[in-house]
Amino acid sequence: MGREIERKFLVQNDSWRLCAESKKPYVQGYISVVPERIVRVRLAGEKAFLTLKGRHDHAGRDEFEYPLPVDDARQILETMCIRPLIEKTRHIVKDGGLKWEVDEFGQENQGLVVAEVELESIDQEVHLPAWVGEEVTHDYRYSNASLVKEPYMRWGRRD
């Protein structure tokens, strides 16, 4: 069984850019955004994946990810996914023996930058780099599935 244990933080400045090792464009869409069963299709550069995620508990959540033909992923994104799609650039930053994934969002989520770190265990100690700000691990608004329903650019505004 797949298990994901991660923590998520807001990014408070751009100093992480000096340590970024790589970046890759991502486009992802959601077929289900129900917290108990999230179903995502993702294009990550020239690769594609189907991901199923269960509900978060204090120790993480179940996660299963499978490769998908790129053309199939593009068709699913175009025809089956909830709008808007999530578009972001993922940067890899290594710090303190950990690999951080810094996501800069675009389109409807422009202006949002978050950093995630995957852990081996829920009690693993994490040294926070100076560019890491407030922890938002348990704030569902910052989940990609939630950003489909309520994009970042609409926060604070009610039309």
> Among the options 30, 66, 140, 142, which is catalytic?
30
Cα-only R_g, the chain: 15
Residue type (1 letter), 31: I
Q: What is the DSSP letter of 17?
A: G
Reply yes or no on whether 66 is catalytic.
no
Token readout for 59 is 């120790």
Cis, bond preceding 35 (omega within 30 deg of 0): no
Handedness of CA 47, 50, 56, 60 (dihedral sign): negative
Alpha helix ranges (H) inside the chain: 70-79, 144-149
Q: What angle do CA 16, 103, 15 make, to 5 degrees?
A: 10
List the catalytic residues: 30
